[in-house]
């Protein structure tokens, strides 16, 4: 009887030691990629009525991050990141492949801005379009 009690106590202690070991091995699961593995991309995009980015009050603003995956408050982050990747982050080249969407020639200027970091490089971009139709013809980046 005495040996039976010893075996139960010893096996109970061993089981008690196994639980913390199992918990620590589960906690050592692979972590998310380290932030240093990717060049950072974090942008704030705005759309404002008016001709001057310095004086126009933004009507809409979103965030966009493209690394390691497309995310942010932008309604179509994957499409926007794909367009930016296609032009290597050069905002002046956005819409180069546009099919010439017809727009009325009404002067109602809309100014867009992009500020932040694109693949580790500082971005400070602004451009004024004649109206919102011309802006939408440029693609997904400023379509929000």
| Parent domain of 27 | 1-31
The answer to whether the beta carbons of residues 125 and 113 sit under 8 Å apart is yes
Alpha helices in 50-131 (DSSP H): 77-86
Q: 78, 72 in Cβ contact below 8 A?
A: no
Pair (52, 77) in one structural domain: yes
Q: What 3-state class would DSSP assign to 122?
A: strand
Of the candidates 4, 58, 65, the residue with the CA atom closest to the CA atom of residue 39: 65
Assign 99 a pLDDT band (cuts: 50, 70, 90): low
- 22 & 47 share domain: no
Mean pLDDT of 83-96: 90
Burial class (CB in 10 A: 0-12, 13-18, 19+), 38: middle
Cα three-residue angle 83-98-119, rounded to 5 degrees: 20
CA 44 to chain centre: 10
For the cut 80, the answer to whether the pLDDT of residue 1 exceeds it is: no
- Going by pLDDT thresholds of 50, 70 and 90, the confidence category of residue 71 is very high
Provide the domain count of the chain: 2
| Same-domain pairing of 60 and 4 | no
Asked if residue 21 has pLDDT above 50, the reply is no
**19 & 59 share domain:** no
Average pLDDT over residues 122-128: 95
Q: Is there a single domain that holds both residue 19 and residue 63?
A: no
| Percent of the chain with pLDDT strictly greater than 90 | 52
pLDDT band at 5 (very low <50, low <70, confident <90, very high): very low
Domain identity same for 47 and 16 = no
pLDDT above 90 for 97: no
């Amino acid at each position: 009887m005495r040996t039976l009690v010893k075996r139960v106590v010893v096996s109970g202690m061993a089981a008690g030691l196994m639980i913390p070991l199992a918990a620590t091995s589960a906690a050592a699961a692979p972590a998310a990629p380290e932030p240093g593995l990717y060049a950072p991309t974090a942008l704030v995009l705005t759309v404002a009525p008016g001709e001057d980015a310095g004086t126009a009050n933004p009507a809409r603003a979103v965030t966009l991050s493209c690394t390691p995956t497309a995310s942010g408050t932008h309604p179509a982050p994957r499409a926007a990141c794909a367009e930016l990747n296609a032009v290597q982050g050069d905002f002046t080249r956005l819409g180069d492949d546009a099919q010439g969407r017809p727009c009325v020639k009404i002067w109602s200027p809309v100014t867009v801005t992009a500020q932040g970091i694109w693949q580790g490089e500082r971005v400070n971009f602004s451009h004024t379009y004649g109206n919102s139709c011309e802006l939408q013809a440029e693609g997904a980046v400023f379509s929000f």
